[in-house]
A and B are shown apart, each in its own frame.
Chain A
Amino acid sequence: MEVPILKQSPHLITTIQAALTDADLIRLQDALVEQVGRYRSKGVIIDVTALDVMDSFATRTLRSIAHMIKLRGAETVICGIQPEVAFAMVQLGLTLEGISTALDLEEGLALLNQ
């Protein structure tokens, strides 16, 4: 499934609508890292509100996306993690260390605009 990446002035916003396969995640990673440079974006928001499961591969990929984008000179905010998902992730030890998180898209934008 293709994940749309929207350009919103200095930021890129991508909303994950459904559970992604590993290949989809890798494609998303490549697209984001590439577009951050092309649009000279300052920040990237990844909205995962629709996800009710987050496995270790998805978490790891999100983390590497964030790190890659950091290397490309932009900030990443992951927003909309559901309470149950957050709880499960923490129990599995997947804490997204060092990556900004926000409650929802609005908060994420506010965080990037600070």
Chain B
Amino acid sequence: MSKKDEKRSYGEVATVATEEPRSELLRQLVAHLRQNRTQLRQEWAHRITEAMLLTSMTQDEIFAEATSIYDNHVDALESGTFETLQAYARNLSERIIPRGVETDEVVGIVLLLRDVLARSLFAKYQQDFALLNRILDTYEPAANRVANSVAVSFVQERERTIMQQQEAMRELSIPVPQVRERLLILPIIGVIDPQRARQLTEQLLRGIRTNRAKVVVIDITGVAAMDSNVANHLVQTVGACRLLGAKVIVTGLSPVIAQTLVTIRVDLTKMNTAGDLQGRIEEAEKSLGYKVMPAEQ
């Protein structure tokens, strides 16, 4: 809404100050940009390389993309519609995001294009200052909108990618394998957020029920960081397992996590937490009455 208002007010300023109609100015502007296409494009690609942007792409690629963006940009200026440009920007983002192109680079190149074009307008109209002013009145709001929509498309695409990845991570199944009869292990790997913790608990409880497990060894070696939320989830999981009659052994607390837990005062004393996975599994086997020994004996 505010963007529209802004645009309209720019337009009004332009009409008040103009002798030629706005469309005539725009035609002049677009003609100028078309005429100097090769030179401006090169100038822009040169500036991009100079500013060390898009370093993950080759010269040729930068030039090819620069050409497409340039043409789309001019088309958008001429027609005043941004759908094609937005679609192109989304498509471009889709291609360059996996290659590690950052938001600041994309915003940077779009602003560079704006600068390059504005410079060329200055150069062309420096004799007639009033005309330059009117041309800029026409050019600036449109160019700003172009820059805006390209940047927004990029960020949207990026967010979409991130969401997709989060979704994929959440859907990673949590395996609860049975290592001995009535003994399950649950290796937790990665980040635990509330949703994943819930899913994890549900899966574990279901596993306990179907395998009639008596002992569960939870291995959190793969958990990088732990805060009070995660710790409380762990406490809840252990409590829920206990209600089903299963004993839970937690193992794999790294020194860092142990320190964190002490600092944030999470009480894990009820959980049997010391030792490594092997030791814990052996302990679990013992409590189930298993005795593992080498085959020769």
Contact = CB atoms under 8 A, between A and B. Distances in A.
Q: Judge: A and B partners, yes or no.
A: yes
Contacts of B279: none
Contacts of A95: 239, 242-243
Contacts, number: 54
B236 A102 contact: no
Per DSSP, are chain A's interface residues mostly helix, strand or loop, or mixed?
helix
B194 to A, nearest CB: 11
A103 B236 CA distance: 18
A89 interface: yes
A83 B245 contact: no
Given A89-B240, A90-B236, A103-B212, A79 B206 contact: no
Contacts of B241: 86
A8 interface: no
B208 A83 contact: yes
A87 B245 contact: no
Per DSSP, are chain B's interface residues mostly helix, strand or loop, or mixed?
helix
B212 A83 contact: no
B68 interface: no
B239 A83 contact: no
Interface of B: 198, 201-202, 205-206, 208-209, 212, 214, 236-237, 239-246
Contacts of B212: 103-104, 107
A87 B240 contact: yes
3 A-B pairs with the lowest CB-CB distances in the bound complex, closest first: A83-B205, A102-B245, A86-B243
Contact of A91 (B206, B209, B236, B245): B236
B245 A103 contact: yes
A81 B244 CA distance: 6
A101 interface: yes
Interface in A74-109: 79, 81, 83-87, 89-91, 95-96, 101-104, 107-108
Contact of B246 (A87, A91, A103): A103
Contacts of A96: 243
A87 B205 contact: yes
B209 A83 contact: yes
Given A83-B202, A83-B209, A103-B209, A90 B245 contact: no
A101 B238 CA distance: 13
Given A83-B202, A83-B208, A90 B246 contact: no
A90 B208 contact: no
Contact of B202 (A85, A87, A111): A87
6 contacts: A83-B209, A87-B198, A87-B201, A91-B236, A101-B243, A103-B246
